[in-house]
Amino acid sequence: MQNSMNIETACQKIIATGHKMVEQKMIAGSWGNLSIKIDTESCAITPSGRAYDSLTAQDIVIIDMTGKKLAGDLIPSSETPLHTAIYKAIPEAQAIVHTHSIYASACAAMHKPIPAVVEDLVQIIGGQVEVAEYALPGTQALADNAVKALQNKKAALLANHGVVCWGTTLEAALMTAEIVEKAAHIYCICETMGGAVLLPDDDIAVMHDFYQQHYSKRQIGKGDETLE
């Protein structure tokens, strides 16, 4: 069961992660968005139209899982329906990042999934990153299409738009976005050189299972001796 997070802590995590996304050129200006659950009924989310390098804790908006604003002076992200739809559909999701990173967005613009080209991608994703059917930004249709593409996956491409990733922490969601971008970059390079050789399905299943059962827990400081 999820423990409630202090609102101030949630806001600070969003600001710090937003700065990292700008530094890594995963977003520009005020585009892209991120959120983190405070408890099962509410989350903190970035405001609409505000640049990440100038955000303060007071700018972060608190909403419930219907998208209703609970606290904050600013308008919540226009992609609020995307975030709330993912939280409702995937209870394990505790944080979400939506980026516009270059190579992943290029794949999204081509409506091409990012295939199983590298091991770290399949360890986290469990296979290729699917493309959600196109819909206008900020709409419920976009949110519904993203949830469909995210089935059993932690990331999806949004056609002609960008990428959305979820994690059990905001740090984990950002790491997934970073690995998706790296895999997209490698895939785009391979496409200019004759095409990549994809990983076998059986190996993908083994690596994904190992990541879920063991390696992901080591990343948060739990050794195998602590696993049930």
For residue 8, indicate whether it is catalytic.
Answer: no
Q: Where are the beta strands (DSSP E) in the chain?
A: 33-39, 42-45, 61-64, 69-71, 95-99, 131-132, 155-158, 162-167
What is the C-alpha to C-alpha distance for residues 15 and 46, in angstroms, rounded to an integer?
A: 9
What is the C-alpha to C-alpha distance for residues 205 and 78, in angstroms, rounded to an integer?
A: 36
What is the C-alpha to C-alpha distance for residues 58 and 47, in angstroms, rounded to an integer?
A: 10
Pick the catalytic residue from 8, 79, 171, 178: 79
Closest CA to 183 of 131, 113, 133, 136: 113
What is the C-alpha to C-alpha distance for residues 77 and 101, in angstroms, rounded to an integer?
A: 18
What is the C-alpha to C-alpha distance for residues 187 and 112, in angstroms, rounded to an integer?
A: 11
**Helical axes 140-149 vs 80-89, angle rounded to 10°:** 40
The answer to whether 122 and 152 are in contact (CB under 8 A) is no
Helix (H, G, I), strand (E, B) or coil at 57: helix
As annotated, the active-site residues are 79
